[in-house]
Structure 1
Amino acid sequence: MNIHKSKLALACLAALFSHQALAADGSLLGRLGDTQNKAWFEGASVRLKELNLSTVTKGDGSFRFNALPPGDYTLEIRYLGAPKTEHPIHIEDGKTLQQRFTLGLKEPKLDELIVYGQRAGQAGALNMQRSADNLKSIVSSDAIGQFPDQNAAEALQRLPGLSIERDQGEGRFVGIRGIDPNLNNVTINGMNIPSPEAGVRSVALDVIPSELIEGLEVTKSVTPDMDADAIGGSVEVKSLSAFDRAGRSASLTVQASRNELRSETSPKVSGSYTDVVDFAGLQDSLGVAVALSWFDRDFGSDNIESNGDDEIEQRYYAINRERIGAALNLDFRPDFNNQYYLRTLYSRFSDDEYRQANTFTFDGDDSEIERGSKDRYEVQEILSLTAGAEHQLQQWHLSYQLGYAESSEDEPDALYYSFKGDGFAISSDFSGQIPAIVQDAEAKSLSNYEVDEISFEDNLAEDQELSFKLDMSRDFDMAGHPAQLKFGGKYRSREKQTNANIFIYEGDFDDLDAGQFAAAVPAWGLGDFGSGLDRQAMRNHFSSNRSSLELAALDSELESNGASYQSDEDIFATYLMTKVDIDKLRVVAGIRYERTDFSTSGQRVELIEDEQADEEKVVNTAWQGEKQYSHLLPSLNLRYEFSDQLIGRFAYTQTIARPKFEDSAAFQIIESKTEENDDGGFDTEREAEVGNPELKPFESNNMDLSIEYYPGSIGVLSAGYFHKDIDNFVILADVSHLDAWQGFAEVTQPINGESAKVQGLELSWVKSFDNGLLIAANATLSDSEAVTLLDGERFETSLPNQSDKVGNLTLGYEDNDWSLRLTLSHKSENLEEIDGEMLRMEDAHQQLDFSGKYFINPQMHIYFNAVNLNDEPYYHYFDRRSINAQYEEYGRTFELGFNWTL
């Protein structure tokens, strides 16, 4: 048996490296553009009919065939929105034919519609989706501009199976098929992006302005040459390249927006420039692309939330968010066999938040009110640097890339004031989405309160990753069928650390008059708020009196040291894959190996309050953890072309997801109290919150099956089924029953639980009509099962944040003067968490947005966007919709802007 296998392997190698396979033969280097030399077309299917060789055009419209025997051939080009065309070509031995091709468009107007406007984004995205070897959903830069989306997260919500988690009404994290965003992979120009936020892996895509994006690709079935940490999927952010544009290009956008809730006007400016120039004596060899974006937004929200029992909190937010983004990309192409590139992207996202809150605790005569403020300025930064090259070495294609990315979240000088008062007449029936609160006049005056606590925080989270990858591929003949062999490897080194500095002041504030911090009543739209808090007065007071305030040293040390840790992760990966075209069937199969070396260091921090020994102290002990694991992950992607219009797909893949850093970090926060009991003895009660460096990674078996129908015009009708079995699902549990925690009343720790499952259907329909109308609709219907352990009790629920219905509906119209779109996005209710004995649910969310453009001429247009036209609130409830957990409204936002394009 082994002898036969050896002979078969030798035969394959002989065929792969035979003289005929390595013969120079001839080559074809083509480029597909429009008749006016204004645009290149990506995603077009190109085939040499006589040899049954096929490929897909790249972003710059280029494609290539190597090792072609001399002779005459027919080149077939297919692109949605244009008739299929055929071109005769002649290949000479040892020579490369370079030729430019254009789409066979009969009407000049149709050409313009495909190059510009709504149809441009749809045609490009659908062609790339149709030609892909695996399951992908794509958003082009043109499509991003057709919606009032502020960032990458909001642009992605329009795709089938994708939903977003919002923060203050803005899209922030992206969920794929309802899977936790921490289980997705995000890359920028092929470089894995570390998360700015402490403790998590998910990248908040609101830090990336939409103006810096050339395209977004969501891969739902990975191939072996992709990172395996993509249980939900992989999101690739692509920034612009000069070679993706035909000639010199430039753009400028100026915008003003106004938030209805806070009546604030916010400016925005963005621009881009690309050009291809001569360099080092070589014509059109250097491409330069630059993009800048600045957006300074003032807005806010009104919030009311409760614990469903005896506590209600009113919150008033005033927020300023500033986004600054920049990209500089260089491409050097000395000849058609060598390409070099440098991709850079910088994003700075600042969030200046001032929150005023009133917390009402209802307990008869012991009822009390706490008024508090949160004065926090936070900056998140992402820097991505990627350098690489591609070389055609006879029949081998070699590519390599070196990448460095860093991100940070800096929260300096965060200040919190807390005021408490009691003896007031307050009441509430806790009914409805917005529970009403009755309070007497004394409760509304800050002079009737006392300062209870002041805290000050200076926190910093940093995440860095260095990576290198190498890929090699070559085409060959496998038993008369065109095939490709590809292999390579990747190394990633990541370091994430969190440093917390928390100072809690609980001293005697009897001499401090709380009334001096009173301000005007905020314009809170959900009821009677009472006295406001003067932000600057509290900041000035703290700056002037900090040295005389009494520091709660032990509590401060416990909180600071318990929240500070570092984690290091080294990942080595290698893969082998092959692609074979057997008539109308394309098979992409292979295997990927990934080894992970993980280490973490932090502290075991214990607060000891011992009446028997008459001592209070904090004991800090260094704690470290290490874990190594490896995975061998097969994958299979099948693509069958029933006809030019009908394509079927099947995929089986295995993927993983490494635990969140806050779950696997080496930290322990322990509180130990020894108090005298009624019998004169002493009892000790201990509780702990700990990380778990021994956590195993999530492991998932994924299956996808889909059918796609592409009519002759720009459009698609598709349906797909997906199923995921996820092992080692991480849950929070009380592990005090384990031997390691004897004597503890409660120990909360992340552990690997039972398996989870998710399955569903994805439906999509996109259609552009000749009269200018456009319809796009998609829906994802899913079902999930997961197990959660809480207080020793086993709960069978759906996956957290898993909505069983997600969908979008877009109605559009476009002609030479107007471009209009009305979009409805829908996300059904989902489980957020188990809170005590109650289920906390996020209610269904439906948001209506409008975008309209008027074209002054082909280079200039004005636009008007209306975001959240239906003034949809954000609502959570306990068990029943009538029991408030959180109600928050953001108001409508209107945008007016001008765009100029060269």
Structure 2
Amino acid sequence: MQHRLSTLTTACVAALISTGAFADQGSFVGKLSDSAKQVYFEGAQVRLKELNLTTTTRRDGSFRFTNLDAGTYTLEISYLGTAPVTKTITIAENQTRTGEFTLSDNRSPIEDVVVYGQRAGQAGALNMQRSADSIKSIVSSDAIGQFPDQNVAEALQRLPGLSIERDQGEGRFVGIRGLDPNLNNVTVNGVNIPSPEAGVRSVALDVFPSELVEGLEVSKTVTPDMDADAIGGSIEVKSLSAFDRAGQSASLTVQGSQNQLRDQTSPKVSASYTNRYDLAGKQDVLGIATAVSWFDRDFGSDNIETNGEDELEQRHYTVNRERLGAALNLDYRPDFNNQYYLRTLYSEFSDTEFRQANIFVFDGEDSEVERESKDRFEEQQIFSVTAGAEHQLDQWLLTYQAGYSESSEDEPDALYYVFKTDGFAINSDLLDQIPYVEQEAGVSQLSNYELDEIEFASNQAEDQEYSIKVDIARDLTFSGHAAQIKFGSKYRNREKQQNTNVTFFDGDFDDIDPGMFADETPDWGLGDFGQGLDKAALRSYFNTSRSGFEIAKLDSEIESNGESFVNEEDIFAAYLMGKIDMDNLRIVAGLRYEKTDFSTSGQRVELIEDELNDIEQVVNTPWIAEQNYDYLLPSLNMRYAISDNMLARFAYTQTVARPKFEESAAFQIIESKTEENDEGGFDTEREAEVGNPELKPFESDNIDLTLEYYPGGIGVLSAGYFYKDISNFVIFADVADLPEWDGFDEVVQPINGEDAKLQGIELAWVKTFDSGLLLAANATFSDSEAVTLLDGERFETSLPNQSDRVGNFTLGYEDNHWSLRLTMTHKSENLEEVDGDMLLMEDSHQQLDFSGKYYISEDMHLYLNAINITDEPFYAYFNQRSRNAQYEEYGRTFELGFTWKM
């Protein structure tokens, strides 16, 4: 290995000092499309036989060879699903020759194989996977349209090793190989996307409608030219370009969906348009692509959950989610050597939720019941703009890009009511998935309650990032082997801020009759819910009577100030990498350097309740902290062609993941209480919840080994092993025994814990048959070891959110009129978190979906999607499966739609 890296380094140096060695050489630029020149093919392998030089086609079907001596060469093009293409080309000195190539297959027309339908998606994804320098899983735009997936997160769950976390039954966050989504990197058109949600780094990918996406690429191993903050992996979202398609194109989709649980019907409309234009006498040099999607969905869920000990909560949700997405992309390509682009993406996701809840607190004769309501509107926005260019300067390829992205979450005027009653007999053993509550009839009547508290909140979170990067590459020949040197730099500036504004009202409610807010009994499928709460009446009463309510000033102040902070990161990166092809072996290796300057500002907020000195106040003290760190990270990716149909890959990489913003933020919430004891003296108790600006980033050493077999046609059989050794894993601990917290009874703070380990096996099989049958299956089996604290004691467990088994199965069929798919996703149980002295476990989830299309013509089709056919609920439990933590059901959803394409 040392000899190979030394050879590669020598080749890189030789390239840098030999700028004039190729003065009399030529280049060749080609493009690969279907016979109608309407579809371009990405990921095809292109080889110059005499020189043993290989490259792959790009998104627009183009490829390029540079540094070619004048002469005649044999060009071989290989694309899964078709017969190889062999052509003769001629290279002239100091000239760039061009050519257009068409895939063909003697067995069946190309249009039936890899241009249209579900087989197109498989062919495109597998070709890109096969030709990649690193280990990747890919979803093409054609494959996205073949599943009943409503957003990017749900489209990604079909890939090997990927699983999703759901909210209200919809996929939101994506985990790679069972790791926390906060350990992934998400980019759109090469720009890092900040998270709209307060305190976290993970991006909820349900904000991106699948119609705006041209492709999804998951890199499970990184190369030095990629961001290093990808312990789980890196997810790249690619939006539409006019040069992805030939000429003018357009599409329109109209859909209606129905949720059975709430019996609501929801509309959806999406459209796209691309075209190319001539400028200054040059043909097809300007490309414009635009797309828009709108989905207004009404649905809900029924929920019952407990704390595992003495509290049970019944919840009824009514939800409206509206998604609006738009993209406008420009490309200017005046010649073969220069390309300019502008990419934009806008996504707006609003969630209107009305939650009614019954909370039972079991304490014998002192038992209580609360009726609560939550009325809130939440809007998340993501905007990304990227401008860049690519220039072929003789033997050098120069690319540069500037990007800006911002995310925000706005929750204005959220309103919460709490009603209380006691004196009624209630009982439950909290066992079973759906625990039963014994209660007197009067518990269900609002007139038996008293208004206890109203909470009014307006919260905001913003996340912005500026970035600029430059990459320089050069192809060369070293000792008869094709090689490339590449180096570059990137700068990122990111600011995350959270602003919390909460007001608690807890008095002057004596004259209020809760019966005035009574509504019809909700249709709750898990038992008897009792009288409902009138959303409009609750909001109207608050608006008209707010000025007369008594404000709980201290509680409001500590909540608002204690949860507000600003974090900022400056990240500078530089890398050097090389690539060399030695017969059947390709090596990609190099180093990446990343330096981070981190700062955070917040407040130390202390609530003081002192009976001895008759003091009751909140003391606010500003807190500012800084931290700097840097890393030099090696990576090695090797790809060996055992035969024309079999590849072996090996990778060793080092990656990092910066802590969550809420964990490293400068905030302290302290409560100090001095009360008289039974002996007439006074005792002081002090507790705190604090952030940790000194947290170190996660660090991971990663080893990957895969074997891929492409038996011919459209298909693959693969097996892979992965291993991750993660240090600085973050856990929450009571640090009251440290000197700086002397006098405190409890201080909960995130700290860097011991190492964690993750290893597993990924298996995947895809096969299409000439009969139209499609079979696809994948499974990931993994195991992890981590150390956390359970009831203050050291406890060995698995990584949070890591499932031992994740899998997918697809059965499909397609002919000239029908395209059918039945899909199943499976995720085994996993540890969600340690809750006090109990383990909170998420139960296994298995969902069955169906998608069917009928092609009226080549341009039009009808489709029917059935989602969650078996009405699979979400279930979590404490320690043992019979002890409920949360049970939630969502019902089935059916979608009927029409799509037209030009």
Q: What are the within-5 Å matches in structure 2 for residues 439-588 of structure 1? A: 439-588=439-588
Q: Describe the shift of the 1:481–1:11 C-alpha distance in structure 2 as closer, same or farther (beyond 3 A).
A: closer
2:364 corresponds to which residue?
364
Q: How does 1:399-410 map to 2 (within 5 A)?
A: 399-410=399-410
Establish whether residue 880 from structure 1 lines up as the match of residue 857 from structure 2.
no
Contact 2:302 2:888 in 1 (8 A): yes
Residue aligning to 1:382? 382
**SS class of match (1:857):** coil
Question: Which residue does the alignment assign to 1:680?
Answer: 680
Conserved in 2, the CA contact under 8 Å of 1:566 and 1:665? Answer: yes
Kindly provide the CA deviation profile for residues 302-341 of structure 1, in whole angstroms up to 9, marking residues without a partner as x: 0000112211100000000000000000000011100000
Q: Deviations for 1:167-191, whole angstroms, at most 9, x for unmatched residues? A: 0000000000001000000000000
Confirm or deny: 8 A CA contact 2:11 2:478 kept in the other structure: no
Residues in 1 aligned to 2:659 and 2:21: alpha-carbon distance in whole angstroms: 46
TM-score, length-scaled by structure 1: 0.98
SS of 2:754's equivalent in the other structure is coil
Aligned to 1:83, the other structure's residue is in SS state: coil
Aligned identity (percent) is: 72
Residue of structure 2 in register with 1:334 after alignment:
334
Q: Trace 1:754-833 onto structure 2 (pairs within 5 A).
A: 754-833=754-833
Q: Number of paired residues?
A: 898
Q: Compared with structure 1, are the counterparts of its residues 226 and 435 closer, same or farther at alpha carbon in structure 2 (3 Å cutoff)?
A: same
Alpha-carbon distance in 2 for matches of 1:720, 1:481: 28
- 2:537 alignment partner AA: A
| 1:345 equivalent in structure 2 | 345
Q: Does 2:841 match 1:847?
A: no
Any residues of structure 2 matched to 1:169-208 within 5 Å, and which? 169-208=169-208
Using a 3 Å threshold, how does the CA distance of structure 1 residues 72 and 492 change in structure 2: closer, same or farther? same
Structure 1 match to 2:307: 307
Which amino acid counterpart does residue 55 of structure 1 have in structure 2? T
Aligned to 1:671: 671
Structural mapping, 1:75-474, within 5 Å: 75-107=75-107, 109-474=109-474
Contact 1:384 1:406 in 2 (8 A): yes
Give distance in 1, aligned partners of 2:144 and 2:732: 38
Superposed CA deviations along residues 492-525 of structure 1, whole A, max 9, x for unmatched, are: 0001100000000011311111110111000000
Query: For the Cα contact (< 8 Å) 2:42–2:57, is it kept in 1?
Result: yes
AA aligned to 2:62 is S
Matched, 1:60 2:84: no
CA positional deviation for 1:480: 1.5
Unaligned stretches of 5+ in structure 2?
none
**CA deviation vs aligned residue, 1:224-259 (integer Å, no higher than 9, x gap):** 000000000000000010001011110000000000
Partner SS, residue 21 of structure 1: coil
Letter in 2 for 1:591: L
Q: 1:827 is aligned with what amino acid?
A: K
Runs of at least 4 residues off by over 4 Å: 5-12
Aligned-pair distance for 1:11? Answer: 8.4
Paired position in structure 2 for 1:649? 649
What secondary structure sits across from 2:521 in the alignment?
coil
CA distance in 2, matches of 1:774, 1:888: 34
What one-letter code is carried by the residue in structure 1 that aligns with 2:71?
A: G
Give the stretch that moved more between structures: 16-25 or 342-351.
Answer: 16-25
Aligned to 1:857: 857
SS in 2 for 1:662: helix
CA contact (8 A) 1:105 1:111 kept: no
Instruction: Structure 1: give runs of 5+ residues left out of the alignment.
Output: none
For residues 207-231 of structure 1, the C-alpha deviation after alignment (integer angstroms, 9 at most, x for no partner) is: 0000000000000000000000000
Task: Tell me, yes or no, if the aligned pair for 1:16 and 1:477 is still in contact at 8 Å.
Answer: no
**Matched letter for residue 627 of structure 2:** K
1:897 is aligned to 897
Deviations 1:451-475 (A, max 9, x none): 0000000000000000000000001
Q: RMSD between aligned alpha carbons?
A: 1.3
Question: Structure 1 residues 875, 239: CA separation in 2 closer, same or farther (over 3 Å shift)?
Answer: same
Closer, same or farther: CA 10–155 of 1 in aligned 2, 3 Å: closer
TM-score by length of 2: 0.98
Amino acid corresponding to residue 449 of structure 1 in structure 2: Y
**Residues 5-44 of structure 1: matches in 2 within 5 Å?**
13-14=13-14, 16-18=16-18, 21-44=21-44
Contact 2:561 2:603 in 1 (8 A): yes
Q: Is the 8 A contact 1:416 1:454 kept in 2?
A: yes
Tell me the secondary structure at the aligned position of residue 540 of structure 1: helix
3-state DSSP of counterpart to 1:202 = coil
Letter in 1 for 2:367: S
Query: What is the rounded CA distance, in whole Å, between the counterparts of 2:652 and 2:94 in structure 1?
Result: 41
Q: Which secondary structure state, in structure 1, belongs to the residue aligned with residue 560 of structure 2?
A: helix
Mapped to 1, the partners of 2:892 and 2:571 lie a distance apart of: 45
Pairwise CA distance, 1:7: 13
Amino acid paired to 1:135: I
Residue 640 (structure 2) aligns with: 640
The amino acid that maps onto 2:679 is D
**8 Å contact from structure 1 (residues 43, 56) kept in 2:** yes
Instruction: Tell me, yes or no, if the aligned pair for 1:734 and 1:790 is still in contact at 8 Å.
Output: no
Other structure's SS at 2:160 match: coil
Distance (whole Å) between structure 1 residues aligned to residue 663 and residue 307 of structure 2: 25
Could you tell me which residue of structure 2 aligns to residue 703 of structure 1? 703
Amino acid across the alignment from 1:288: I
Displacement of 1:38 after TM fit? 1.5
Q: What letter matches 2:422 in structure 1?
A: D
Please say if residues 60 and 245 of structure 1, whose CA atoms lie closer than 8 Å, have aligned partners that are also in contact. yes
Give the AA of the match of 1:409. Answer: E
User: CA contact under 8 A between 1:308 and 1:884: conserved in structure 2?
Assistant: yes
Residue 678 of structure 1 and its aligned partner are, at CA, apart by 1.6
The change in CA–CA distance for 1:475 and 1:521 in structure 2 (over 3 A counts) is: same
Q: Quick check: 2:390–2:399 contact (8 Å CA) kept in 1?
A: yes
Structure 1 residue 282, shift from structure 2 partner: 2.3
| Structure 1 residue 777 displacement after superposition | 0.1
d(CA) in 2 for partners of 1:542 and 1:880? 43
Q: What is aligned with 1:723? A: 723
Instruction: Show CA shifts across 1:794-836 (max 9, x none).
Output: 1100000100000000000000000000000000000111122
Distance 2:446 2:680 in 1: 43
- SS of corresponding position for 1:122: helix
d(CA) in 2 for partners of 1:439 and 1:10?
80
Amino acid corresponding to residue 900 of structure 1 in structure 2: W
Displacement of 1:118: 0.5
Partners of 1:858 and 1:645 in 2: CA distance: 33
The code of the aligned residue for 2:369 comes to: I
Distance (whole Å) between structure 1 residues aligned to residue 169 and residue 279 of structure 2: 47
- After alignment, is 106-115 or 404-413 more displaced? 106-115
Q: Which amino acid aligns with 1:551?
A: I
SS in structure 2 opposite 1:22? coil
How far, CA to CA, are the matches of 1:20 and 1:72 in structure 2? 23
Kindly state the Cα deviation for residue 279 of structure 1 after the two structures are TM-superposed. 2.3
Contact 2:15 2:485 in 1 (8 A): no
Cα offset, 1:677, TM superposition:
1.2
1:224–1:577 CA contact under 8 A, matched in 2:
yes
